[in-house]
Amino acid sequence: MVTEFRIERMGAQGDGIVRGSAGPLFAPLTLAGELVRGEAEGERILLDAIVEPSPERVEPPCPHFGRCGGCLLQHWERAPYLAWKRQMVVDALAREGIEADVAPTIDAHGAGRRRVIFHARQYGARTVVGFAERKSHAMVAIDACPVLAPGLDQALPAARAVAEALAPLKKPLDLQIITTDTGLDMDVRGSGPLPPALLTDLAVIADRFRLARLTRHGELVIQREPPRLAMGRARVDLPPAAFLQATAEGERVLADHVAAGMVGARKVADLFAGVGTFALRLAETARVFAAESHAGALAALLKAGHTPGLKGVDGEARDLFRRPLMAAELAAFDAVVIDPPRQGAEAQARELAASRLPRLVYVSCNAATFARDAALLVAGGMRLEGVVPVDQFRYSAHVELVATFSR
């Protein structure tokens, strides 16, 4: 039955929420305070119309908004959207009983995202390249994406050319593309082994679009020159499908806050170090030990660590979930930076809490797991000095943060 609903608040995934008789109802693409018309189906409201729009509602910049699952909040004015992201961090900490100074959210979109994963699917003779609809395997063919950095201008045509070349395989493909200082770096996944003729076709496409490198599941197809990025004064030759901060501005903001928390430290540990986002910058003033489970990322970091003028970078390939640095090992450092994946770093947080480490900077991409780990650190005697939310994923419900602890 079609009914009118008043949206009460915004949920953690960016949906409007209404209280229903059997629990909350979620209304995608709505805003708090709006009166909407629709039909409840399970936990969701199938939207028919916005009867009374919020004064915070704006015109979405992308023609694919509403179908593409990538950007769910293009209809929300920037200031309240950023305030909502800050509040998500405040709420996550409050659930763990932690009061902290949480700064306003920093808009770190900058020039746009510098990495993207396109999906390619075959529908009969038609090749569709784009993104998935939200909570669906259905594909949305796109012709442009407003959140991508200018360096990715040729990413979509290149992805489409690769997908069409591999269309005879009739396999679902994922194409990860990164813009680097030396050109686009593309990794193709899902194709399986390729016959020589298709490898030759891919090499021709890579040359046509002047890709720095093209790999398949990390295996080299062709490389015109190493995909390289500057990190401080160092230059890093990236491994295939490298993890990077989503935007160059986001990397700069996070790195600046990390550096500010490490002033005066002479020996630093960078845990979950990746390709050296923080380690290589910190090595300009301190000796750095880097721990990272991905061997290719660590090798790239250590190679870049030989840059003249750096004070030295050592490292170890180490699974910090199964084998965290123990409290006794942490005693060797003046400060630590930690940047775990979304699941946080509970085992490592317990060892940090048990140590006598004087300073810690925690970078997180998940407010809930950060708050869980922060509670362990506070219980272990560390003081949470402040938290800075950072928005690299404009129009999404995703928020990152950098927090400083001291003892």
Q: Which of helix, strand or coil describes residue 159?
A: helix
Please, which residues have CB within 8 angstroms of residue 359's CB and are 6 or more apart in sequence?
A: 261, 262, 265, 334, 335, 336, 404, 405, 406, 407
What's the average model confidence in pLDDT over 277-288?
A: 98
In terms of Cα–Cα distance, which of 393, 287, 292 is closest to 338?
A: 292
Share of the chain above pLDDT 90, in %: 95
Share of the chain above pLDDT 70, in %: 100
| pLDDT confidence of residue 8 | 97
Q: Which stretch of 87-96, 109-118, 129-138, 213-222 has the lowest confidence by average pLDDT?
A: 129-138
Residue 20: pLDDT above 90? no
What's the average model confidence in pLDDT over 380-394?
A: 97
pLDDT (tens digit, 9 = 90+) per residue, 227-271?
999 999 999 999 999 999 999 999 999 999 999 999 999 999 999
The two three-digit tokens of residue 272, written as one number: 């979950």
| Separation between Cα atoms, residue 375 and residue 248, nearest integer Å | 31
Band (pLDDT 50/70/90 cuts) for residue 160 is very high
pLDDT (tens digit, 9 = 90+) per residue, 35-68?
999 999 999 999 999 999 999 999 999 999 999 9
The two three-digit tokens of residue 182, written as one number: 């030396």
pTM of the model: 0.95
In terms of Cα–Cα distance, which of 106, 97, 195, 111 is closest to 152?
A: 111
| pLDDT confidence of residue 120 | 96
What ranges in 96-131 are assigned the alpha helix state H?
none
What's the average model confidence in pLDDT over 131-141?
A: 88
Residue 357: pLDDT above 80? yes
| Separation between Cα atoms, residue 290 and residue 302, nearest integer Å | 9
Residue 128: pLDDT above 80? yes
Q: Which of helix, strand or coil describes residue 157?
A: helix
Q: Which of helix, strand or coil describes residue 119?
A: strand
Residue 70: pLDDT above 90? no
Whole-number average pLDDT of the chain:
96
Contact criterion met (CB below 8 Å) for 228 and 238: yes
Active-site residues, by number, are 365
In the 8-state DSSP scheme, what is residue 247?
B
| pLDDT confidence of residue 227 | 98
Please, which residues have CB within 8 angstroms of residue 91's CB and are 6 or more apart in sequence?
A: 367
For residue 70, CA distances in Å to 122, 216, 342 come to 20, 24, 18
Pairing outcome for strands 400-406 and 359-364:
antiparallel
At position 291, the amino acid (one-letter code) is A
Helices first, then strands: H and E counts in the chain: 9, 23
Task: Outline where DSSP puts E strands in 286-375.
Answer: 287-292, 313-317, 335-338, 359-364
pLDDT (tens digit, 9 = 90+) per residue, 292-322?
999 999 999 999 999 999 999 999 999 999 9
Question: In the chain, what is the greatest distance between 2 CA atoms, to the nearest angstrom?
Answer: 70
| Separation between Cα atoms, residue 274 and residue 241, nearest integer Å | 12
- As a residue count, the chain comes to 407
Question: b/e map of 290-328 (b: 16 or more CB within 10 Å)?
Answer: bbbbbebbbbbbbbbbebeebeebebeebebbeebbebe
| Separation between Cα atoms, residue 246 and residue 385, nearest integer Å | 26
| pLDDT confidence of residue 262 | 95
| pLDDT confidence of residue 211 | 97
Q: How large is the C-alpha radius of gyration of the chain?
A: 23
Residue 21: pLDDT above 80? no
Helix or strand (DSSP H, E) at 51: strand 44-52
| Separation between Cα atoms, residue 386 and residue 100, nearest integer Å | 6
The two three-digit tokens of residue 396, written as one number: 């999404």
Question: b/e map of 360-370 (b: 16 or more CB within 10 Å)?
Answer: bbbbbbbbbbb
Residue 330: pLDDT above 90? yes
